[in-house]
Amino acid sequence: MFQDRLLLWKFKTGSQDAFCRIYEKYVNDLLTLAANLLADGSSAEDVVQDVFISFVKSADKFYLTGSLKGYLATCVANRARDYIRDNKRRQTVRRGETERIAPEPQSPVQLVIRSEELEKLGCAMTRLPYEQREVVVLHLHSALRFRQIARLQNVSVKTVQSRYRYGLDKLRSILNGEVEK
Amino acid sequence: MSPAESIEKLIKKLRYQANTETHQRILGNVLQTLDESEKEKTGAAAPNIRSIIMKSPITKLAVAAVIIVAVIVGVTQLIGPVNVTSVALADVLERIEQAQAYMYKTKMSTTGTVMPGMPAREMEMEGTATISNEYGMKMEMTMVDANSGEKTIQQMYMIPNDKVMVMVLPAQKKYIRMEFTEDLLARMKKQNNEPREMVKQIMSCNYIELGRSKIDGIEVQGFETTDPRVMAGMAQHVKLTLWVDAATWLPVRQQMDIQVNEQMQMHGIVYDYQWNIQASPDAFKPVIPEDFTAFPAGGMKMPEMNEEAAIEGLRMFAELTGKYPKNLSLLTLMQELSQELVGKLKDSQSPASEQLRQAFKQAQSEDEKAKKLVDMMKPVQSIGMFYMTLMQDKKEPAYYGEKVSPGEVGSVLLRWKISDNQYRVIFGDLTAADVTAEELSELEKALLK
C-alpha cells in the first residue's frame, strides 16, 4: 500500500514511469475482473482501457483513502455496469485477443483437468445473476470486503453476504459436482 | 477442503491475461491520453499558481517577507534630505533620535487583496515591536483572517549586523531566513526604523499642523501629511498622522490610512510607546526550535535593486504576460503579475512561460513549487524595489508601461535622472542609454503623440 502511495505520488508529480508501473502491476487483475464481470474479453479490454484513461485524466484530483487496487477495481465494476447498460450486449464469452489462462500446471494431466474445470467454471459464471457475479469476483479477485461491495452496490452488507452465498451455491449447482472436492 | 473453499480457490484461479499486442495497444492508448492530458495540464498551469499560493502558507509568507522588508525600507527611507521647516517636528526628531531602544504596539487592518493570488479578504494584525539602534528589530505579530477567523502568529527579526531578516512561523514549524543585499543593507543602515522615519517623511513632504488635542489624558500636538511622495510611490493615497506629547515631544500615536491601489487598503495605528528601554542582545536573537526547518532550505535573498535586475524583471514580466506592467508600485506590480499569470500563462508559448510550467511540473513537493514561485517573482520584485529607490532618491522617475509594448525600439519605458542634464532611459526593447534632458523631452513628446 505504501508502495502504491509512493507510485501514485510520483505519477501525480509527472513521472510517466510511475504510471507504467501502476499499469503493469494491476492490469491483469483488472482484466480478470472485467472479463469475469462482462464475460467478454474484448469488452473487458475496453473497460480496463477506459478506467486507466479516466485515471490518468483525473489522478491529480483525487485523494487515495484506501488501496489503489480497491479503487481501480471499484472503477472497473462501475464502468462494467455502465458498459452493460449502454451496450446491452449479450454476455457471452468470446475468445479473441484475450484468452483465459490456467494456472501453472503441476502436471500435464492436471493441465487438462484444470483447463476443463476452468472452462466450465467460466461458463457457469456467465449464468449467475449479475449482482451475484459482481459480489463473487470483487470479493475473490479484487479482495474487496463485503462492506466495500455493499457501498458500491448500494445495498446492505447482509444482502451482499447473501448474494455471495447464493452465487457460490449456484455455481456449485451448475457445475454439478464436477468441481474438485 | 470444504466445497465452498474448493470453489473459491478455483474461482481465484480463473484469470485472464492479455497478450503482448493487446497490452501494447491499451498502454499506448492510455499513454497517448496521458501525454494529451499533460499538455492540457501544462497549458493550465496558471491556476496552479493560485493553488500553490493558496495551499502553501509558506509561499504567502515568503512573498510577504519581501513585501514587508520593502514596506519597512519604504517607510523608513528618507525621501531625500530633510528640509527642516518646522521647529516643532525637528524637536520631535531630535528627541526620538536620543532613544537608543524603544518599544511600541501596532494594529493594522487590511482589506482587499492582501497578497497576490489570494481572494479579497480582511486581515487584522496586532504586533509588538522592540527596536534597538545597536541590535536591530524584533516584532511579534498575530494576524487574524476576519473571513475565516484563522489566526497566524509569527516573529520577525531584522538583524542588520548579520545582514538578515528571519521570520519564524510556529504553525508551519518553519522559518524564513532572508539575506539582505549590500544595497538594501546600506539603505537600512543609513536610516533607522519607525517612528523617527515617519517624522522625517512628514518633514520632507508637505504637511499641516493639526494643533492640540488630548489622547489618554495627554496633551498632544498633531501633524498630518497626504503628500503622495510620502510612501515613495508605493500607494495611490496616503494619510499619515502623528501625535506627539506636547510636553516631551515624543510620539504618542501614529495613524496611517493607505490606499495602495483599487484593490487594497490599509489602516493602522502605532501606540503605547515605551522610550529608552533596556535592550538585551539576546532579545534580538531569533528563537528557532530544533524541529523547525528552513524554507527554502538554502535561505532566501532579497531581490536586487539595480538597473540590470530591473531590466531582467521587465523582460520576465513581458515574456510571461506579453506586456509590460501598468504600474511599478511593488504591491500593485505583484498583484498584476498574479492576475496575469492566472489568466494567461496557459496560453503563452514564450520560453519564460514554458520554463515556469516545466519548473512546476518538475517540482517534487509543495515546498519546492513554492520556492519556484518565490524565485520566479524575485526579478519582478526587483523592478518594484528599484523603482522605489528611484522615488526615494528623488531621481524623477517616470514609467510608461501602458504606452509601450515589448520590443518597441526608441520608446521610453522607464527613465530617471542621473545628473542635472542627464537621464537614464530604459527603452521598450529593454536597451538602456543616457540621454540629455532635451533628447528625453523629444522622446517623451513622441511617446505622448
Q: What is the CATH number of domain B80-294?
A: 2.50.20.10
Selection from B217, B191, B193, B199 nearest residue B88 by Cα: B199
Report, as an integer, the average pLDDT of B173-191. Answer: 68
pLDDT tens per residue across span B203-255: 667 778 888 999 989 999 888 888 766 665 666 788 888 888 888 888 888 88
Most confident residue range from A58-67, A116-125, A166-175: A166-175
Facing residue for B364 by CB, picked from A13, A32, A179: A13
Residue A32 contacts B where some CB pair is shorter than 8 Å: yes
Predicted confidence at residue A105, as pLDDT, reads 37
Q: How far apart are CA B146 and CA B165, in angstroms?
A: 27
How far separated are the first and last CA of chain B, in Å rounded?
97
Q: Do A14 and B362 touch (CB under 8 A)?
A: yes
Cα–Cα distance between A67 and A26 in angstroms, integer? Answer: 12
Strand B218-225 and strand B237-245: the pairing is antiparallel
Pick from A103, A122, A179: which is nearest to B6 by CB? A179
Domains by residue range for chain A, with CATH: 1-93 (1.10.1740.10), 112-173 (1.10.10.10)
pLDDT at A99 over 50: no
**Where are the alpha helices (H) located in B138-215, listed in sequence order?**
182-190, 196-204
Q: Which of A158-172, B368-382, B418-432 has the lowest mean pLDDT?
A: B368-382
Please report where in the chains the cell 542627464 appears, as a residue. B422
Q: Is 50 exceeded by the pLDDT of residue B295?
A: yes
Give the Cα separation of B195 and B65 in Å (integer).
Answer: 20
**Which range has highest mean pLDDT (A98-112, B207-221, B254-268)?**
B207-221
pLDDT for residue B440: 92
A&B contacts, CB < 8 Å? 110
What beta strand segments (E) does B262-368 contain?
264-275, 293-294, 300-301
Nearest CA in chain B to A165: B4
Residue indicated by cell numbers 499569470? B341
Average model confidence (pLDDT) across chain B = 75
**Rounded-to-integer distance, Cα B212 and Cα B220, Å:** 6
Cα angle B111-B117-B118, degrees, rounded to a multiple of 5: 40
Residue numbers in B near A56 (CB within 8 A)? 30, 33-34, 37
Residue B289: name the closest of B137, B170, B179, B140 by CA.
B170
In the predicted model, what is the mean pLDDT of residues B116-127?
67
User: Distance from B52 to chain A by nearest Cα, in Å?
Assistant: 14
Flag if B34 and A136 touch (Cβ within 8 Å). no
What is the per-residue pLDDT for A8? Answer: 77
Burial (CB count <10 Å: 0-12, 13-18, 19+), residue A44? buried
The pLDDT score that the predictor gives to residue B127 is 86
pLDDT band at B67 (very low <50, low <70, confident <90, very high): low
B15 touches chain A (CB under 8 A): yes
Tell whether A60 is within 8 A of chain B (Cβ): yes
CB B80 within 8 A of CB B204: yes
Do A99 and B21 count as a contact with CB atoms less than 8 A apart?
A: no
Q: What is the mean pLDDT of residues B382-404?
A: 85
The whole-number pLDDT of residue A90 equals: 46
- Mean of pLDDT over chain A: 76
* pLDDT for residue B196: 61
- CA of A87 to nearest chain B CA: how many angstroms apart? 20
Number of Cβ within a 10 Å radius of residue A116 = 12
Q: What is the pLDDT of residues B81-90, one digit of tens each?
A: 333 344 567 7
The answer, yes or no, to whether residue B200 has pLDDT greater than 90, is no
Q: Which residue of A has its CA nearest to B8?
A: A140
Average pLDDT over residues B343-365: 67
Q: Does A16 touch chain B (CB under 8 A)?
A: yes
Read off the pLDDT of residues A127-145 as tens digits, 9 standing for 90 and up: 888 899 999 989 988 888 9
**Given CB atoms, is B449 within the 8 Å cutoff of chain A?**
no
How is residue B363 annotated by DSSP? Answer: -
- The predicted pLDDT at position A89 comes to 46
For residue B225, give the H/E element and its range: strand B218-225
DSSP B14: -
Q: How many residues make up chain B in this entry?
A: 449
Among B132, B135, B137, B138, smallest CA distance to B99 is for B132
pLDDT of residue B219: 92
Those residues whose C-beta lies under 8 Å from the C-beta of residue B50, and which sit 6 or more positions away, are: B117, B338, B342
pLDDT of residue A163: 93
**Interface contact B146, partner A, CB < 8 A:** no
Flag whether residue A57 sits within 8 Å of chain B, measured between CB atoms: yes
Which amino acid does the sequence have at B52? I
Site of grid cell 496633551: B219
Could you read off the pLDDT of B125-176 as tens digits, one per residue? 888 888 887 888 888 888 787 767 777 788 888 887 787 888 888 877 888 8
Contact B26 A48 (CB under 8 A): yes
* Intervals of CATH 2.50.20.10 along chain B: 80-294
B-facing residues of A in 97-136 (CB < 8 A) are 97-103, 114, 117-118, 121-122, 125, 136
Contact with chain B for residue A53, Cβ under 8 A: yes
Indicate yes or no: CB of A140 within 8 angstroms of CB of B11.
yes
Q: Say if the Cβ atoms of B16 and A99 lie within 8 Å.
A: yes
Q: Are strands B300-301 and B174-179 parallel, antiparallel or unpaired?
A: parallel
Statement: residue A62 has pLDDT above 70: no
pLDDT at position B203 is 67
Question: Contact at 8 Å (CB) between B266 and B110?
Answer: yes
Three-class SS state of B92: helix
- Per-residue pLDDT at B91: 75
What's the confidence (pLDDT) of residue B45?
40
Rg (CA), chain B: 27
Q: Is A31 on the interface with B (CB under 8 A)?
A: yes
Predicted pLDDT at B197: 61
Instruction: Quick: pLDDT tens for A16-38.
Output: 888 888 888 888 889 888 888 88
Minimal-distance CA residue of chain B relative to A180: B6
Phi, psi of A144 (to 5 degrees): -75, 140
For residue B282, give the C-alpha cell: 539576546
pLDDT in tens, B408-417: 888 999 999 9
ipTM entry: 0.78
Cβ under 8 Å to A: B residues 329-388: 361-364
Mean pLDDT, rounded, for B367-388: 76
Q: So what's the pLDDT on residue B436? A: 92
B248 in contact with A at a CB cutoff of 8 Å?
Answer: no
- Contact call for residues B239 and B262 (beta carbons, < 8 A): no
Confidence of residue B324 (pLDDT cuts 50, 70, 90): very high
Q: If you average pLDDT over each of A86-95, A161-170, B67-76, which comes out highest?
A: A161-170
Pick from B208, B242, B231, B215: which is nearest to B95 by CA? B242
pTM for this entry? 0.51
Q: Which helix (H) or strand (E) holds A3?
A: helix A2-12
Which of B182, B242, B177 is CA-nearest to residue B210? Answer: B242
Confidence band, pLDDT 50/70/90 cuts, at residue A161: very high
pLDDT surpassing 60 at residue B110: yes
At residue B119, the 3 state secondary structure works out as coil
Strand B164-169, strand B151-159: pairing: antiparallel
Note the pLDDT of residue B214. 92
Per-residue confidence (pLDDT) for residue A109, from 0 to 100: 32
